[in-house]
Amino acid sequence: MNFPTEILDRLRKSGVVAGFSVDNVEHAIPLAKALLAGGIDAIELTLRTPAGLESIKAICDNVPDMLVGVGTILTPETAVEVKEAGADFGVAPGMNPRVVRAAREAGLPFAPGIATPSDLEAAIERGCRFVKFFPAEPVGGIKYLRSMAAPYQHLGIEYFPLGGINADNMSSYLREPNVPAVGGSWIVQKDLVDRKDWSGITERAAAVFNRTN
């Protein structure tokens, strides 16, 4: 399952994808707009709350300049729902063959999660060439990724690291030629969202944008 070139190009340009969950659907649109105002135009909205799918639809319908990725896709049914909601791509924490197949059949660009060579080979066997490296820092960070990726370099695999990435270590990942972007869960702070401090979100997004451009 190759990712569309246009999505990968946008991820490379963005460098950092803001990852977050939404508890209140009413927060989805202003949050996405606040990130855009700070220069972050790619997100991974995780399906960890009941408001997830409706929030995806709201952002897709009202913030067309945002590249909308969806995380925590754990079942085949969810892959279909995410596609129907209008998302641009999906990712998962693990490598579930049934989810990969459902995403392909639904036409949803999808990156399964991998943490070991065996995970990676299972993804490669199913045609995946863009994978989520998770949880990046806890399993060994950039040194581990380099070692694991080396035997598969000739296959052109690209990695989307998430888990433990922050403003201090993101640059070391982005310098890797096989890492088009990293996941940034530190950008959207829940207390700022709860207070509807959208300018605060914009400031945090701008700080990241300025470090990657």
Supply φ then ψ for residue 143, to 5 degrees: -65, -40
Q: Within 10 Å of residue 119's Cβ, how many Cβ atoms? A: 18
Here the contacts of 64-69 (C-beta below 8 Å, separation 24 or greater) are 65/36, 65/41, 66/32, 66/35, 66/36, 66/41, 66/42, 67/7, 67/10, 67/11, 67/14, 67/41, 67/42, 67/43, 68/43, 69/17, 69/42, 69/43, 69/44, 69/45
Amino acid of residue 95: M
Q: Within 10 Å of residue 192's Cβ, how many Cβ atoms? A: 19
Q: Cite the active site residues.
A: 44, 132
Q: Are 136 and 165 in contact (CB under 8 A)?
A: yes
Q: Within 10 Å of residue 45's Cβ, how many Cβ atoms? A: 30
C-alpha closest to that of 19 among 200, 209, 182: 182
